[in-house]
Chains A and B, each alone.
Chain A
Amino acid sequence: TQLLEQSPQFLSIQEGENLTVYCNSSSVFSSLQWYRQEPGEGPVLLVTVVTGGEVKKLKRLTFQFGDARKDSSLHITAAQPGDTGLYLCAGGIGGSSNTGKLIFGQGTTLQVKP
């Protein structure tokens, strides 16, 4: 069974602070995606990382895929109230056993207070 452990599960910070969300597993993933979800809506893709050690930046958000492709992190610099939401990581099972299965972590609820 492949599991994605996401931490922390809840984060409440002041505007302007930095934060990091972690996504860890004992399994190797062919790709790792991060999604953001707002109340009453479905998740929306932020980024996909596929290469071990890969780093991608999206404005104030920095995403990293671990060298062994078992973990990932999301770092937000100078958080703003508009960053408030549920952040989810999702891992794809690849290689010869690629079945298209995509599993999610438990999610991190981020609250940024003005």
Chain B
Amino acid sequence: NAGVTQTPKFQVLKTGQSMTLQCAQDMNHNSMYWYRQDPGMGLRLIYYSASEGTTDKGEVPNGYNVSRLNKREFSLRLESAAPSQTSVYFCASRQLKSVGELFFGEGSRLTVL
């Protein structure tokens, strides 16, 4: 059972470069989320998609864009990477938007030089 799969697991970028983090879930979940995790700051919500076809900003959306490609896939794009975006990024999904367990991927460690 794959659950939530994120790619890539590691990435080094130079300031100004762009990249897309991919996320796919095979649990037929309706809601998907992108978080970033920095030391001492827990998990901060970047964007989320409560259901297929909808996306909404979270706590820290600046510098990011998302696409809910279909029910399975939710990608996160950095158009012009900045050192402040160095972080570990987690994708998560859950069955319904209001209740239920969040299932997380293993994380993607991004370094922006």
Binding site for B on A (CB under 8 A): 1, 6, 9, 30-31, 33, 35, 40-45, 48, 50, 88, 90, 92, 94, 98-107
| Complex contacts, B50 vs chain A, CB 8 Å | 99-100
Given contacts A42-B107, A104-B43, 9 further A-B contacts (CB under 8 A): A35-B102, A42-B106, A48-B100, A88-B43, A99-B56, A100-B98, A101-B48, A101-B56, A102-B48
Q: Cβ of B97 < 8 Å from any Cβ of A?
A: yes
A105 to B99, CA, bound (A): 18
| Nearest-neighbor residue (CB-CB) of A98 within chain B | B98
Cβ contacts B45-81/A at 8 Å (1 or 0 each): 1001011000010110000000000000000000000
- Candidates A1, A40, A48, A100; contact of B106 at CB < 8 Å: A40
| Complex contacts, A88 vs chain B, CB 8 Å | 42-43
Binding site for A on B (CB under 8 A): 4, 31, 33, 35, 40-45, 48, 50-51, 56, 58-59, 90, 92, 97-102, 104-107
Q: List 6 A-B contacts (CB under 8 A).
A: A30-B98, A43-B43, A100-B51, A102-B48, A107-B42, A107-B43
Residue with the greatest number of chain A CB neighbours at <10 A, chosen from B41, B97, B102: B102
Query: Is B45 within 8 A of A102, CB to CB?
Result: yes
Identify whether the interface residues of A are mostly helix, strand, loop, or mixed. Answer: loop
A1 to B45, CA, bound (A): 12
| Complex contacts, B101 vs chain A, CB 8 Å | 33, 45, 48
- Candidates B42, B98, B105, B106; contact of A6 at CB < 8 Å: B42
Query: Is A45 within 8 A of B102, CB to CB?
Result: yes
| Complex contacts, A48 vs chain B, CB 8 Å | 99-101
B6 → chain A closest CB, angstroms:
9
Query: Is A106 within 8 A of B45, CB to CB?
Result: no
Query: Is B97 within 8 A of A99, CB to CB?
Result: yes
A41 to B100, CA, bound (A): 20
A58 to B88, CA, bound (A): 29
